[in-house]
Amino acid sequence: MRFVRKVLGAILRPIYKGFFERPLWWFLARVKSFFLAEIGPQIEGNERRVAAIEERLRSMEANNAAQWNALEQLLLGLFHQPELRIDSDGRISGPYDDLTSSAAGQDRIHERNNLR
């Protein structure tokens, strides 16, 4: 039985390689090159579009970060301004004295200064 298998394998293997395996792989290589030739320009176009989108996204993120920094600086500037009081005479005086005189007022002042 083993001997018959070896003989048939030795006889049929070259026939299989000559008529089936080599032409099959040749045909598949042709088909692959045909499809890749069609897909290649599309892939390159998509890569360019993705690169352009990434560049726009980077610039938008930089602009967004700059706007948030400007807003943060504006808010910090507003919070650091002293509170002004208008007397009954119409005169403007400094910060409230009750804020600086009590411990709770001191805590509120320090809280404003430590927002960051």
What is residue 2's predicted lDDT score, i.e. its pLDDT? 81
Return the pLDDT at 116.
52
pLDDT of residue 34: 86
Alpha carbon distance 14, 20 (integer Å):
10
Contact 85, 94 (CB under 8 A): yes
95 burial via Cβ count (<10 Å: 0-12, 13-18, 19+) = middle
pLDDT tens readout for residues 33-51: 888 888 888 889 999 999 9
pLDDT at 60: 97
Residue 49: predicted pLDDT: 97
Q: Is 29 helix (H, G, I), strand (E, B) or coil?
A: helix
Q: What is the pLDDT of residue 51?
A: 97
pLDDT of residue 15: 81
Q: What are the residue ranges in the chain where pLDDT is below 50?
A: 99
